[in-house]
A and B are shown apart, each in its own frame.
Chain A
Amino acid sequence: MKLEYTAEHQAFREEVRSWLKANVPAEPLKSFDTEEGFQQHREWEAKLYEGRWGMITWPEEMGGRGADLLQWLIFEEEYYAASAPLRVNQNGIFLLGPTLMEYGTEEQKKRFLNGMATGKDIWCQGWSEPNAGSDMAAIRSRADLSEDGSHYIINGQKTWSTRAVWADWCFGMFRTDPESERHRGLTFILVPLDSEGITVRPIPQLDGLPGFAEIFFDNVKVPVDCRLGGEGEGWSVAMATAGFERGLMLRSPARFQETAKRLVELYKANQETADEDPSIREAVLRAYMDAEAYCLTTYQTACRLMQGGKIGAEASTNKIFWSELDQQMHATALKILETRGELLPESPDAGDVGRWLDGWLFAQSGPIYAGTNEIQRNIIAERMLGMPRK
């Protein structure tokens, strides 16, 4: 055990920091759940790509830097510390990208990864359906192979597709074997959202913005070369994606450490009134320690993976931990803000409320998406502890 950065890591951190300092927009971008904000974030992705900072863990020939997981964590630390824009293409670069590298053909990698990296193609997910939420194996949307075998014909409906309103592509699972049940007979397919027969219906989220959408498929023709992995093998391909999502890539500790830092600052600035409720100080200390613990555990996992270890139930323990931490931190901030806590930031009397309310609204989704925390607890009990399924 050695809990110190090497000189190379320190130099890498400096390089990231100086690039971000020179390039992060001075004015925060508009929300990527607005059309204008979406465009701004797409341009930011292009800028990151130009500097080869778009996806540093990707190989160099794909525009990355072949960075190791520790460099990734360092990059994220600097990224959040610099308040750089959120990643509009996270479904693509963090989830589909690694899956494509594992399951895609050489041609598919060539075709999709570059557009993903540059922000030309923004990706959304097509997992959930009205009757397949936590129970993803209940998917009913169908993809039928055409008679000449050249394309699939997709019919059905997907829902809760984040950023589908302005995205270019959707990846998801469809039932290719109509006789199949549960997780057999499902196939992973990449679908261009400008295909004929697709209707996207925006769904306003808690903040009123269309952050996700329903996608209707009415005889949508998709060439077979858009299939990722073999026909009927969609479940195992999707599980790899879900593993990345719950695991290391999507929710860097840096995000929560920066929130914890802002919470400590908010508490210090309002300490006199905040201390009228002694539980607030306690919650602030806990937030900091939990964010720290999340960071420590992530570093441990990264080091273990770099030494050849495999990701296990961490994906589920992580998911519960960060999503509940995020809720707890924002709840505490709103308590500190007292009656200002409910005010939208642009309200004339909102003062220094900042982004806490937005964060609070977003934090409500954490324990639900990417597999509800109840599902994660089942996974921990059954797979990590070996408790009986029935």
Chain B
Amino acid sequence: MDFTFSEDQLLFQESVRDFLVNEITPDKIRQLWETDSGRSDELWQQLAEMGLTGLTVPEDFGGLGMNELDFVLLAQEAGYVALSEPLVNSVLVATPLLSECGNSAIAEQWLPKIASGEARAVVGLAVNKLVEDAHCADLLLLEKGGAIYAVEAANASLRANESVDPGRKLFAVDFDPAAAVCLAEGGAAQALINKALNRGALGVAAQSLGLAQRMIDLSVRYTSERKQFGVAIGSFQAVKHHMANIAYKLEYAKTPVYRAAYDIANDTPRADLSVSHAKLAACEVADLAAKNSIQVHGAMGYTWEVDLHIFMKRAWALNSSYGTAGFHKNRVAAVLLADNAALGAGATF
């Protein structure tokens, strides 16, 4: 039993954090909002050079051959900077789906390019209705009628939608199945879709942890500087308690997320339950962080100019992604309320 990350995992997190915090500044985010694609090829290449785009690509295909547990802390850091490049979904959802779909020709064709940063793949699951970042994808892996198709960009028609979060790009995607490669159907497709959903939900959960931490950090800084009645407003107990409530709940959302990453990486039978718990807990704390942070920022928090909204809007937007709270609560209930459920002390591991 060891519920800690390895030295290597923590060092990797640190170097990725340093890179992201320096590169993805709020100013840079605002600049990207003004561009047509909202994405940066230059940034994507930098992420590729750090090995991140190929993190879960098998070593035979030029990747690092790492797993969800190796990536979860990095996804947290991606959330901390509200990264808009499709890294989390590429590493956690698209790449494993390509590796596991059973179509080796497609895998051999695309995985090396994904690892090198040459190509981007995105996934569209029915649960999300719209597809994130379809506009910058070279390959789309799309669920349709219970089957999964690999669709090249040229064969997909996109209808763009705008999100409350200017960093998110969402598309309705249409394609002709006859002009696509069917990767899986029936039971095989269902299993792949469930795994993709779990991995996507893990990505959302991990990013939500990072977003909550960022909102705490911004709010602590703001309330330590802003003075009223002659003192920093952060010295008021009412303000402190808003922040403490986020901070202590965040501690109890982290471990479910790490457990979920472990369970997916090790393909344990409790993965569905762990993932749903993780997503519920992490999205809830990100939601609370947004609510309490705008409150302690006062009118400043309601503006476009102050950076808080970059992170607050991302938290709101991710909340229903990869399964709503209702969906995940029902998955938890299905396990807990089953006749033979193993519950109570000693049943956790």
Contacts and interface: CB of A to CB of B under 8 A. Distances in A.
Interface stretch (B125-133, B156-164, B330-338): B330-338
A53 B231 CA distance: 54
A354 B6 CA distance: 46
A28 interface: no
B344 A261 contact: yes
Contacts of B1: 2-6, 9, 70, 299, 303
B259 interface: yes
Nearest to B233: A388
A80 B277 CA distance: 24
A299 B346 contact: no
Contact of B345 (A6, A258, A300): A258
B244 interface: yes
A290 B5 contact: no
Contacts of B254: 297
Contacts of B243: 380-381, 385, 387
Interface stretch (B58-66, B193-201, B216-224): B216-224
B241 A253 contact: no
Interface string A283-310: 0110011101111110110111001000
A260 interface: yes
Interface string B3-16: 11110000000000
A55 B202 CA distance: 39
Interface stretch (B22-30, B171-179, B245-253, B309-317): B245-253
A76 B344 CA distance: 12
Nearest to A253: B345
A13 interface: yes
Contact of A77 (B247, B343, B345): B345
Q: DSSP majority for the B interface? A: helix
B40 interface: no
Contacts of A78: 345-346
A325 B259 CA distance: 21
Given A257-B344, A289-B277, A385 B248 contact: no
A254 interface: yes
B232 interface: yes
Indicate the member of B235, B240, B349 with the most A CB atoms within 10 Å: B240
Nearest to B247: A380
10 contacts: A2-B1, A70-B1, A260-B344, A285-B333, A296-B258, A317-B251, A321-B252, A377-B245, A384-B244, A387-B240
Q: Which 6 A-B pairs have the closest CB atoms?
A: A261-B344, A381-B240, A296-B255, A254-B345, A377-B244, A77-B345
Interface of A: 1-6, 9, 13, 70, 74, 76-78, 80-81, 253-255, 257-258, 260-261, 264, 267-268, 281-282, 284-285, 288-290, 292-297, 299-300, 302-304, 307, 314, 316-317, 320-321, 374, 376-378, 380-382, 384-390
Given A289-B280, A314-B251, 13 more contacts: A3-B1, A3-B349, A77-B346, A257-B345, A260-B344, A264-B343, A293-B277, A296-B255, A297-B251, A304-B4, A381-B243, A384-B247, A385-B220
